[in-house]
Structure formats: structure tokens, C-alpha cells
Structure 1
Amino acid sequence: MKKKLVGLVSLLAVTGLFLGACGNKAEDKKEETKTSSVAKEEKTIKVKNSEGKEIEVPKNPKQVVVFDMGSLDTINQLGAGDSVVGAPLKTLPKYLSSFDSVESAGGIKEPDLEKINAMKPELIIISGRQQDSQADLEKIAPTLYLGVDSSKTWESTKQNIETLGTIFDKEDVAKEKITKLETSIKEVKEKAEKSKEKGLVTLVNEGSLSAYGEGSRFGIIHDTFGVALADDKIEASTHGQEVSYEYVLEKNPDILFVIDRTKAIGGDDSKNNVAENELVKQTNAGKNDKVISLTPDVWYLSGGGIESTELMIEDVLKAFK
């Protein structure tokens, strides 16, 4: 009887040890799953693109292909430029020449999918020019669309800077840069409003002129920098409103801003000297030496970034010195 009792106690002890071991294994597995889940959360982050769609992207990616020039300069200004492995080099603005050494990702409107795939990017950043290729790019890596909303230029630029600051874990730097830009914007806006001068924004391409007003791709001059409109009836469109030199004389702007598209992308610019046009010389802008040439590659190829906004402010301030 005593032997049976001892055997029963031993059996219960072994059973207890076995169940305890199983319980510990289950707990360990549960903890391991929890740790793995937390690690995954730290590796990715959800942000909104410029269309308000939530996208899951890597946190602090080390291999990034960037097509949007504003995003490229913002990444650089945030101190994360080393993460960029590819960009459309043929249309790289001069102020971003430090990225000449990265791989070519194709044309600004025609991404080279094969080359991009070979780069093994963790993230691809695009703007409106690449939207036709977005579905194909998404098959390679998470693709984030960061464009600028022309109806609220600074607000969308600011949002893009904040988004990139979050992705690259540079929120404090982004906040500091935004504060500095807002101080500069306030300065140029005060000068523009105080002058009461009316401005006209034009783009010249091999002698042909287009005008841009509020809500256009160059609307930042009016809606953010505070320059009054010489013509408030200009249609807001991507390519602007085609106009003549007679139109410029009729509107008689106090300031005539000129973006030379040909100088930005190449071509015959022999007919692009707007300031020397006889009709332009008769305008207030022509008479007062206020035909302002805006930096072509910044305005036509870039915009919406930290450095490009700084350069745009410097350009517009020329009209009030």
C-alpha cells in the first residue's frame, strides 16, 4: 500500500513538472509573438499620401528611390540624404547636384522599372508626373505619392515636410525648418502687401508665353507670398493660360515674373528674353526694372520642399529690394 502511495505521488510530481513545462513553453511562445509584433510595428509606420490615403511604409528606410524633387531636397535638408539610392538624374535641378552620384531611375515621366527593381528600394516617392506608373512601382516597393496641392501650396508643402520628418524619424528637425520657413514667408508677404504692387507670373517656352494665377502650379507667389494679382481672371491649369505680349502690356503688371522652361529642360531659348521685348518695356515692370527672372529649374522642376521654398522666397524678394 505504501509502495502504491509513493508511486502515485511520484506520478503526480512528474505530471506537474510536464504540465508546468508545457505552460512555460506556451507563455514563452506568447511572449515571443508579442515581441515579434512590436518589432514589426517599429519597422513600419502608417502615413497619409497627398490624396489622403493611408500608406504603410518602412520606418527610417535605407534604400529610397525619389522622383519628387521637393521630397528629395526635404530628405536632404532633414539629414537623411544618404538613404537615397536612385533619382531621375537627367532632370535634376542644379541645387540638388549632390545627388549626381546616385543611380539613374529613368526619366522624370518614364521611370525605368527594371533599374528601380535592381536597386531593391524599401520605399519609392513620387509626384504627379509619375502617377501613370504608380501601379507598376507599387509592385516593386511601397510607393508614396507626395504632390503639392496648388489650391493650398504652403499647407500641402508643410504637410509633406512633416510626413517625411515622421518617416525618417526627424520630426524635431522638420519642425525647426518649418518654423524658419514660416518666418521668411511672413517677411516676404509683409513686403509684398506693403508695396501694393501687382504681379503677373509667366512661363516662356521658345518664345511662347503662358500666364499663371491663383490656384496654379506657381500660385505660391500670390497665395503664400502675398503678391497682388495683375489679372484675377487667369484660368487655373497645369499648363497655364496661353497669352501674347499684347496681353502683358494690357495688364501692365508692376512686377513681371518669368520662368524660362527652355532653360530648365533644354531647347532653343533665343526668343526667350522677355525683358527685351518692346511691349514689355512699356509696362510698369519694364520701366522700373522689375522683370524678375525666376530660377528655372527650381520653379519648373522642383518646388514643395524645404530648400526649394527657401530659393523661391529669395527669388521673389528680388522684386522688393
Structure 2
Amino acid sequence: MKLRTYAMFALLISVLLLVGCSDSEGSTDAQEEDTEKTEQATETEAKTISHLKGETEIPENVEKVVALRPSYFDHLLTIGVKPVGVTAQAQYGGDYIPYLADQLEGAEIVGSAAEVNLEKILELEPDLILVDDYTASEVYEDLEKIAPTVVLGASSDEERNDPDFWQQDLMKIAKIFDKEDVAKEKIADLEEKVAEANETITNMENNRLAFLRIREKVIQIYPETTHPMVSLLYNDLGFEPAELTDEKERGDLSMEVIPELGADHIFLQVDSSGGPENYSSIQDSNLWKDLEAVENENVLKTDFWIYKAWGAIGRTQMVEEAMEYVNE
């Protein structure tokens, strides 16, 4: 009887040992599996973005972004992301760029493109900084010490002269936030507006256009290509370039050649520094008054389309403003 009891006790001990070993092995396997999942999650949480200064690893949940160029404000707002810090525009008294001012309300101004305030950026504790190569040439190393920094912009003359290059920057920013579908949708909406406008403008009898920039001491005429603004006007919307419009080069106009402008319509930008005084003087000139576009009141004063042309929000506003003018 005792022998049988001992045998049963030994069997019970063996079973318990086997179960213990099994649990231990299972626990180890589970731990290894959890570790593997954690490593995989870490790999997917960080994105590596290629840019003009190399590659930068960016965390998945970027919440606070500092943007140091107006077009990047436009790109961020296009995909529904509001920057916490932006650069000011000297042309507007050191404030937000006007066409985005309402949407940027509350964002901290962190200096200008020419003079970035690194201390203010540091105080914002950003998760990401977006900068162009001009500003990066001075402060990239300092910005990198604050937060992951991506340098956007063209890397070649071919890209710089591509009027649609702004879309590449938009898509790169959208990729950071997993909002590429949103960006594509906004681009498609814009293209639809452009196509509708083109149908109207190309069917106008007189659609020769000159885009002028009134600066402190000179009148400049913008070319037919090499800038996203004029590409939108001439290539996409379908205006014909005026007689004095060069294909590629921006030029200075003297008042003596103004009568040769050959434009049915004049769109112009007046620079805030010295421009209004110069424009007032130009308007007093009979050479200006006798222009066909001026006599027919076909002059549209724009609000810095040169900036607006680099983003989907700005370009959409340009198309709408142009169509409002055309339909008057």
C-alpha cells in the first residue's frame, strides 16, 4: 500500500515539473514574441524622409511643427495641419502672410527667413522643423539640435524651373503625416477649377496679359515661364502673353517703352516698400493712361500672387480671383 502511495506521489511530482517547464518555455516564447512585436512597432513608428541635407528620422505622431517658409504654411494647412511656429513676412510689417493669416492665428512668429529666432523655436519644443535651403544654409545645424529638420526645395535647375515642383514638396510633407490621399484630393480639386477657368479664358477674344511688378524705382514685367505664378496664368489658365513678355526672363520696363506693352489685361503687384509711391507716379503719366488695358479698366491689382503660386490654397485663390475679374 505504501509502495503504491509513493508511486502516485512520484508521478504527481513529475507532472508538476513538466507543467512548470512547459509554463516557463511558454513564458519565454511569449516574451520573445512581445519583444519582436515591440521592435516591429518601433520600426514602423519612425519614418525616414530624404531631403536636401540627407535623411532624417521622424517620429510617427508629429504634433508640433515649425515651418520657415510661406509655401510650407500653405502645404501644412492644405492637409489640415496647423504649424505652431512660422516666419514673419517683412513686406507685411513682420506679421503673417495675409492670405493665410486667419488660418495661422495663434501660431508663434519665430523671426524671418533672413533672421530665424532659434530661442523661440526651442521654447516651442517642436517635433519637426521644415525649412528651405536658403535659410538652412545658415542655421541647419542649429535647427537639427532642436528637432528633426527637413530641408525642402529643388535640388537642380531643372526642378527649380519646373512650375509644378511645389507639388513634390506638398507630397513630401503629406507623407510625414500619412495624408497623401488628402494632398492628392486637393491637387485634383485645384486642377478641376483650372480646367473650368481655362475654358472661359481661352475663348475670350482679347486675352493678352501682362503681369507687372511695381517696385520702388522700377516696373518689372514677368516672363511667360520659369515661375509657378506665370505658368499658372499663361500655360494653365490660357492667357496669351503680351507683346513685351519675354519667354524666360523677367525684365525692367522704362516708361518710354510702356506704350509697346501690347496687353488687353494687366495684372500687377505693388511692393509695399516704395511701390505705392512709384505706382501713384506711374498712374499720373499719360503714357500709362493711354494704354488700352488702362483705358478699358482691365487692370487687376493682385495681393502678392508671387507667394500664393507655391501652394494649393494660394493657387486656388488666384484662380478664383482671376475668374471674378474675368466675369465682371
Answer yes or no: same fold by TM over 0.5: yes
1:131 pairs with one of 133, 136, 140: 136
Change (3 A) 1:189 1:135: farther
State the match for 1:216 in structure 2.
Answer: 227
- Which residue identity is paired with 1:189? N
Q: TM-score, normalised by structure 2?
A: 0.77
- Which residue identity is paired with 2:287? L
TM-superposition CA deviations, 1:159-211 (whole Å, max 9, x none): 33333333223334323322211111112222332236222222111242222
TM-superposition CA deviations, 1:104-139 (whole Å, max 9, x none): 211132211122122111111123542323343233
Distance 1:15 1:168 in 2: 51
State the match for 1:279 in structure 2.
Answer: 287
SS at match of 1:139: helix
1:199 pairs with one of 187, 191, 209: 209
State the match for 2:166 in structure 1.
Answer: 157
CA contact (8 A) 1:235 1:241 kept: no
Distance 1:217 1:91 in 2: 24
1:175 pairs with one of 173, 180, 184: 184
CA contact (8 A) 2:68 2:87 kept: yes
TM-superposition CA deviations, 1:40-94 (whole Å, max 9, x none): 2343324454x6965443334111101222221332243222xx21112424122
SS at match of 1:124: strand
Post-superposition shift, 1:254?
2.0
Change (3 A) 1:268 1:259: closer
Change (3 A) 1:158 1:147: same
- Which residue identity is paired with 1:251? L
User: Is 1:64 the equivalent of 2:65?
Assistant: yes
1:259 pairs with one of 269, 288, 293: 269
Q: Tell me the percent identity.
A: 24
Post-superposition shift, 1:244?
2.0
Post-superposition shift, 1:308?
0.8
Distance 2:324 2:136 in 1: 35
Distance 1:48 1:189 in 2: 36
Distance 1:218 1:43 in 2: 38
Distance 2:140 2:213 in 1: 28
2:318 pairs with one of 284, 290, 312: 312
User: Is 1:270 the equivalent of 2:259?
Assistant: no
Post-superposition shift, 1:301?
4.1
Q: For residues 15-94 of structure 1, what are the structure 2 equivalents within 5 Å?
A: 23-24=25-26, 27-49=29-51, 55-81=56-82, 84-89=83-88, 90-94=94-98
Distance 2:285 2:36 in 1: 71
| RMSD after superposition | 3.4
Q: TM-score, normalised by structure 1?
A: 0.79
Change (3 A) 1:152 1:275: farther
SS at match of 2:211: strand
Distance 2:55 2:257 in 1: 45
Distance 1:75 1:42 in 2: 22
1:120 pairs with one of 102, 118, 125: 125
Distance 1:92 1:147 in 2: 21
Change (3 A) 1:120 1:292: same
CA contact (8 A) 1:295 1:315 kept: no
Change (3 A) 1:283 1:118: same
Deviates more, 1:53-62 or 1:182-191: 53-62
2:146 pairs with one of 119, 123, 140: 140
Post-superposition shift, 1:293?
1.0
User: Any unmatched runs of 5+ in structure 1?
Assistant: none
User: Is 1:109 the equivalent of 2:114?
Assistant: yes
CA contact (8 A) 1:64 1:85 kept: yes
Equivalenced residues, count: 306
Distance 1:31 1:87 in 2: 44
CA contact (8 A) 1:57 1:123 kept: yes
